[in-house]
Structure 1
Amino acid sequence: MKETLALTILAASLLSFSPNTVADKAVLAGGCFWCMEADFEKLDGVTDVISGFTGGILKDPTYNGNHEGHYEAVEITYDPNKVSYKKLLDYYWVNIDPFDGEGQFCDKGTSYLSAIFVANEEERKIAEQTKEEVAKAFPNQTVITPILDASVFYPIKGDEIYHQDFYKKSPVRYKVYRWNCGRDARLKELWGDRATH
């Protein structure tokens, strides 16, 4: 009887221990990685957001040094049981200006361009679907944001690690920057109540 009870308790505890520790990653560029990190860390199902660079061929790009050819981007770790890749991208679109071919908001230049980096054909299909939805919603504008093959993601590191969680470490400076950059005003203009701020 005790053995049966013990086995029942063990089985119940194993079942209650969720094997859903599955985590997927998505890499997205949307201008300033401070803002992208702050926005995506608010999304339910996202467990981590890392700022860095991707999309270029230069190895070990740095913020203050050479990051030519790279996009400022974030690597988002998320639980697909809580938030789907589609929902992640729906959220992405309303946090960028997909019509700006010069950068994002006040930040101009190739490193500030928006882009979706896909790891496989399934992600590409979903990304193309969401891009088409945006295009249909704005028939008189051209969606500039490209869908690109994923490449090496270089997290911010070393003496530039202060960029990670910048909105938490320097909240006043971050809020002043974001306000002056006009990010939220433009998002509201584009997306109305769908904008997350």
Structure 2
Amino acid sequence: MKTLFVTTSILLMAACAPAQSAEKSDITTSANVAIATAGPQAPYEITRTDGLSEMIIAGGCFWCVESDFEKLTGVTEAISGYSGGTLDNPDYKTVSYKETGHYEVVKVIFDPTVVTYRQLVDHYWKTVDPTDPRGQFCDKGSSYRTAIFATPEQMAAAQASRKNIIETKPFAAEIVTPILQAVTFYDAEDYHQDYYKKNPVRYNYYRTGCRRDKTLKKLWGDS
């Protein structure tokens, strides 16, 4: 698998992002106890006035998370970004090569009259391997860890969803995906946005090479 990832990365010009050292993937951040009023640890607030809502999730490569969620009825857009770390205005290179604590995340914008936050969180679990504390699929490192970043209004629903998936999961491995307080979201660079649409051949080759869908099928079956 390691050889496959390296080959895939070269062909895709580092694919989603270069792998980080697994030994450095256990960063402790204060994302779940945010008390700042500004900067990377400031609590995230949904301030929309168009009737839509938002959720922030980390599921490994944000190209794949975008693709998985923009296909859902009720989701209007998915935006790749960074959140949860200690660096203000992070960029791809810094997050990928240094230990800033940031996750690759996606902000999902949705119509709550069509699909609820709880329904989206329930869907999220089946799109990731929530048993892996080191990353996702062929991408290992702190920025590829899974997490649900919830606002105070979303916290109860997120925790209830996690409790349900722990009780109903079709495998024995422990769920390690945390529920964290949502903090400042930073948009990723333009070339990352809608990557699966702009570069479908490279995206599909990367996703297949990472065995993302095969791993999910093995983990979740048809559930």
Give yes or no for TM over 0.5.
yes
**Percentage identity across aligned positions?**
49
Alpha-carbon distance, 1:132 to partner: 1.0
Bigger shift: residues 38-47 or 135-144: 135-144
1:125 paired to 2:176: no
2:103 aligns to what? 71
Task: Provide the aligned length of Structure 1 versus Structure 2.
Answer: 171
1:167 paired to 2:210: no
Amino acid at match of 2:157: I
1:152 aligns to what? 184
Other structure's SS at 2:101 match: coil
Alpha-carbon distance, 1:66 to partner: 4.2
The root-mean-square deviation of aligned C-alpha atoms, in Å, is: 1.4
Give distance in 2, aligned partners of 1:60 and 1:172: 30
TM-score norm. by structure 1 comes to 0.83
**Contact 2:95–2:102 under 8 Å retained in 1:** no
1:105 aligns to what? 137
Amino acid at match of 2:182: A
1:137 paired to 2:165: no
Give distance in 2, aligned partners of 1:116 and 1:97: 13
Give distance in 2, aligned partners of 1:25 and 1:156: 17
Alpha-carbon distance, 1:191 to partner: 1.4
**Contact 2:103–2:145 under 8 Å retained in 1:** yes
Other structure's SS at 1:35 match: helix
CA deviations on 1:30-56 (whole Å, 9 max, x unpaired) are: 000000000000010001110010001
Q: Highest relative contact order (Cα 8 Å, sep 6+), 1 or 2?
A: 2
1:86 aligns to what? 118
Residue in structure 2 matching 1:40, options 57, 60, 69: 69
Amino acid at match of 1:58: L
Q: Between Structure 1 and Structure 2, which shows a larger proportion of helix residues?
A: 1
Q: 5+ unaligned residues in a row in structure 1: which ranges?
A: 1-19
1:22 paired to 2:51: yes
Other structure's SS at 2:131 match: coil
**Contact 2:56–2:105 under 8 Å retained in 1:** yes
Give distance in 1, aligned partners of 2:67 and 2:95: 25
Give distance in 1, aligned partners of 2:180 and 2:211: 27
CA deviations on 1:45-98 (whole Å, 9 max, x unpaired) are: 001110010001201111123462100000011000000011000110100011
Give distance in 1, aligned partners of 2:90 and 2:111: 29
Other structure's SS at 1:65 match: helix
**Contact 1:28–1:73 under 8 Å retained in 2:** yes
Alpha-carbon distance, 1:178 to partner: 0.2
**Contact 1:135–1:141 under 8 Å retained in 2:** no
